[in-house]
């Protein structure tokens, strides 16, 4: 077996099954050390376990070795080495994903790219900057704070920006500023065999382009299955002159979601509009020591110039009142707004705190806005009928919401009910013309739903592209496809 691998034979003929693993070839670890230095390679169990899971509840699958490349040249050398010996490769940023994207289900080498953390090519006039995988979104925004610009995509966690590009991340600001896809102008990709690819050409960041197939968009959301994203050129936005945020409680879930739809249809350029059902509102309130009424709640934030903001506030107040929402108390100072959003960002932990000792699983469906009210209401009913703890939180402005299912994985009956519920929810979203994953990615858990969503032709096309770029299925095998 290992001889066949050393001679590079055998792989081209068949695909590995999802969870088969082969040990590393002999002297392979020494070869890795020769590229990055002994201190940048580890086979210690604790380190491997740390790199074998993310924030999801997918079982930890440690890689066989972890490496820390210091520069893109080293990434290329390491990739070429792994490619030659047919060793699987898994890119690793901050490990804050939610779909088991970094779990090394076929073993192999985990490339921890966090040591490559340079911010370069900042152009304030062109509103663009390039970042390596070790740069997180908060680090970038801190760096930019004197320039009047920011990078608005905010998935909650302080994630690696290249990691966010790899998963096609989104977040609370997407309703106004977009997800990662429209905000990535160029990517420097190390392909599985070690070749370097600039998806929009080396050193280019035009704001728009029509030159050839859109490779940048192909790699955004590829979840580490097509190559290593070692540099992302990002589109920056001007910081809003004025911001105001508020919460408002509604008598019913329907009213809250209807209000959202109406705010969007009134073309109020809302920056963030987030929904919490009464369970989530109660949990967040308790967890963050804030006094929210236990009722379906919307959290809204508006951005604009001073005058524009006042206008937006007025329009929003009218629509909220029409839907029976409680009075709005706008928070304009940074501290208050941050408190509010910190509470929202702790939703995951607040949900877990409802049942200490249990695990959490987050669904991630996204449907057209027009179908949002009935999908949400039906899902809530399904939750109650199934007797599950599943507080709901969502970026309703995008038609995207999450049920954070908190359950005891050891209780087979409950686990079965959770599984059945998530399948029904996925199918409900697909039937409503939506997607099974709005922002978290397919990862390990949603591959079956991907077939239903795209159809056989869709999936076959994805497989053709994968085979063209990664014929030996070495890049993050077992994910997406």
- Interface residue list for another protein (CB under 8 A): 139, 142-143, 145-150, 238-241, 305, 333-335, 338
Choice between 335 and 457, CB closer to another protein: 335
**CB of residue 145 vs another protein: minimum separation in angstroms?**
5
Choice between 123 and 147, CB closer to another protein: 147
CA torsion 277→280→285→291, rounded to 10°?
10
**CB of residue 376 vs another protein: minimum separation in angstroms?**
34
CA torsion 419→423→429→432, rounded to 10°?
-140
**CB of residue 146 vs another protein: minimum separation in angstroms?**
5
**CB of residue 166 vs another protein: minimum separation in angstroms?**
23
Choice between 27 and 305, CB closer to another protein: 305
**CB of residue 112 vs another protein: minimum separation in angstroms?**
18
| Close Cβ partners of 190 (under 8 Å, ≥ 6 residues apart) | 72, 75, 76, 79, 196, 197, 227, 228, 230
Whole-number Å distance between alpha carbons of 459 and 57:
26
First-last CA distance in the chain: 26
| Residues 175-201: b if buried by 16+ CB within 10 A, e if exposed | bbbebbbebbbbbbbbbbbbebbbbbe
**CB of residue 359 vs another protein: minimum separation in angstroms?**
31
**CB of residue 164 vs another protein: minimum separation in angstroms?**
19
| Helix residue ranges, H only, 432-472 | 447-469
Strand partners, 198: 188
Choice between 345 and 440, CB closer to another protein: 345
Choice between 193 and 336, CB closer to another protein: 336
| Close Cβ partners of 309 (under 8 Å, ≥ 6 residues apart) | 241, 242, 243, 244, 302, 303
Choice between 42 and 316, CB closer to another protein: 42
Choice between 142 and 456, CB closer to another protein: 142
**CB of residue 119 vs another protein: minimum separation in angstroms?**
9
| Close Cβ partners of 164 (under 8 Å, ≥ 6 residues apart) | 137, 153, 155, 180
Choice between 239 and 459, CB closer to another protein: 239
| Residues 332-364: b if buried by 16+ CB within 10 A, e if exposed | eeeeebebbbebbbbbbebbbebeeebbbbbbb
- Hey, is 120 helix, strand or coil? strand
């Amino acid at each position: 077996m290992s001889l066949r691998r050393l001679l590079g034979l055998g792989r081209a003929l068949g695909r590995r099954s999802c969870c088969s693993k082969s040990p590393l070839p002999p002297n392979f670890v020494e070869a890795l050390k020769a590229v990055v230095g002994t201190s940048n390679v580890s086979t210690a169990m604790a380190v491997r376990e740390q790199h074998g899971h993310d924030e999801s509840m997918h079982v930890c699958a440690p890689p066989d070795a972890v490496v820390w490349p210091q520069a893109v040249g080293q990434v290329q050398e390491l990739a070429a080495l792994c490619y030659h010996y047919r060793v699987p490769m898994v890119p690793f940023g901050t490990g804050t994903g939610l779909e088991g994207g970094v779990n090394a289900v076929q073993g192999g080498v985990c490339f921890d790219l966090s040591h490559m953390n340079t911010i370069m090519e900042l152009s304030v006039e062109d509103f663009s900057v390039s970042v390596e995988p070790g740069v997180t979104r908060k680090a970038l925004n801190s760096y930019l704070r004197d320039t009047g610009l920011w990078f608005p995509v905010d998935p909650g966690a302080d994630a690696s920006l290249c990691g966010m590009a790899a998963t096609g991340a989104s977040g609370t600001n997407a309703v106004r500023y977009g997800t990662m896809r429209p905000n990535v102008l160029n990517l420097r990709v190390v392909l599985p065999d070690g070749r370097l690819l600039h998806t929009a050409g080396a050193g280019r960041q035009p704001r728009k382009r029509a030159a050839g197939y859109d490779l940048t968009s192909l790699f955004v959301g590829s979840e580490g299955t097509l190559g290593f994203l070692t540099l992302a050129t990002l589109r920056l936005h001007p910081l809003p002159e004025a911001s105001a945020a508020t919460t408002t409680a509604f008598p019913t879930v329907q009213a809250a979601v209807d209000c959202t739809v109406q705010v969007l249809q009134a073309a109020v350029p809302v920056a963030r509009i987030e929904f919490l059902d009464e369970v989530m509102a109660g949990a967040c309130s308790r967890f963050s020591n804030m006094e929210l009424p236990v009722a379906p709640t919307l959290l809204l934030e508006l951005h604009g110039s001073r005058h524009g903001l006042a206008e937006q506030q007025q329009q929003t107040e009218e629509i909220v009142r029409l839907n029976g929402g409680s009075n709005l108390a706008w928070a304009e100072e940074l501290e208050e707004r941050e408190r509010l959003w910190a509470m929202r960002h702790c939703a995951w932990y607040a949900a877990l705190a409802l049942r200490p000792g249990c695990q959490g699983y987050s669904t991630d469906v996204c449907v057209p806005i027009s179908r949002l009210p009935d999908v949400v209401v039906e899902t809530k009913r399904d939750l109650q009928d199934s007797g599950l703890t599943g507080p709901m939180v969502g970026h309703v402005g995008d038609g995207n919401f999450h049920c954070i299912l908190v359950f005891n994985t050891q209780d087979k009956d409950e686990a079965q009910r959770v599984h059945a519920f998530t399948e029904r929810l996925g199918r409900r979203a697909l039937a409503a013309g939506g997607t099974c994953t709005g922002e978290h990615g397919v990862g390990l858990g949603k591959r079956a739903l991907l077939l239903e969503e795209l159809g056989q032709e869709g999936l076959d096309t994805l497989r053709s592209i994968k085979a063209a770029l990664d014929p030996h299925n070495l890049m993050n095998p077992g994910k997406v496809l």
